[in-house]
Structure 1
Amino acid sequence: MVSNPIPHLIFWLVLLAVGAVVGRYHARHTIPAWANQVQGRRTGLSERAFLFGQTERRAKRTLDRPPP
């Protein structure tokens, strides 16, 4: 049995205080997950999409060109 519980109590209180300080520092200095999300397609892009024939002509020009 512990004869004097005060040092034990002080140790655990200091340990909890240090853990709280480290946790707060980490929470404030960590980049949030929502900050750099991958961007999706903008709305309305399908309205400005190229016509099928224009896409076909571009594909043919790409295939006709010799590789670098």
Structure 2
Amino acid sequence: MTGESPAQSLIYGEFTQEAKKMGSKLFSSAIYIIMFPQFHIAHLEKQLKSTEYLSLKIMVDLLQKPA
């Protein structure tokens, strides 16, 4: 980003930092679900927000897809 104000730069930095944390948690959760069948994703459907559940389901599906 060019020509941004210090406030915009700070907000952008915090946003990207939070997005990285969320992506890392999502990836870790997906790996656990794949490695340990007893942690089936269906058990989490009622515990997570719909967007979190959908994101996790997509991540699991992508990781299990053959290359």
Which TM bucket (shorter chain)?
A: 0.3 to 0.5
TM-score by length of 1: 0.40
The TM-score with structure 2 as length reference comes to 0.41
Q: Which is helix-richer, 1 or 2?
A: 2
Q: Tell me: higher relative CO, structure 1 or 2? Use CA pairs within 8 A at least 6 residues apart.
A: 2
Larger CA Rg, structure 1 vs 2: 1
